[in-house]
Amino acid sequence: MVGIACDHGGYELKLQIINYLEKNGVEYKDFGCHGESVDYPIYARKVGQAILDGECEKGIFICGTGIGISIAANKMPGIRCALCSDCFSAEMTRVHNDSNIIALGGRVVGPELAIKMVDIWLNTPFSNDERHIRRINMIE
Ligand code: RB5
């Protein structure tokens, strides 16, 4: 299960990503918002907590820049949220960081690039390499 959330700055892009998830049969839970002006830390916490509780394996966050929601998410121990605006980073953050949330900027990236990044990120496994596990443990 993938948790997805946004604030008002990411709402339009969230709808397009949900369309991609539905077309590709990816199970998801939408934690809001629905276009109204909201405070992104609240939505970061909703999905972060769902991951920590085991309800979701991964999360997708979208705010205006992706920055605020990623800063908020990364305050939660166990959450590794990667702000991405290129496909290489979207791939490498799975391989090296085992990131469990991808953050995107709805006012920064276009929908085609965002969907490509989500597709790569969802389908790239963690390397399970000892040195990367060690570094992730050091973060925790
Ligand atoms: C909301 O206007 C905006 O500040 C938010 O979406 C995000 O970009 C914050 O980092």
For residues 21 and 61, give the distance between their C-alpha atoms in angstroms, rounded to a whole number. 14
123: Cα separation from own chain's centroid: 13
pTM: 0.97
Each residue's pLDDT tens digit, 84-106: 999 999 999 999 999 999 999 99
63 is catalytic: yes
SS3 102: strand
Q: Which of 6, 33, 56, 63 is catalytic?
A: 63
Which of 63, 64, 68, 70 lies closest to 89 in space, CA to CA?
A: 70
pLDDT computed for residue 17 by the predictor:
98
Residue 55 pLDDT: 98
Ligand 1 centre distance from Cα of residue 57 (Å): 25
Per-residue pLDDT reduced to its tens digit, 45-68: 999 999 999 999 999 999 999 999
Q: List the residue whose alpha carbon is closest to atom 7 of ligand 1.
A: 64
- C-alpha 133 to ligand 1 mean position (Å): 32
SS3 62: strand
8 is catalytic: no
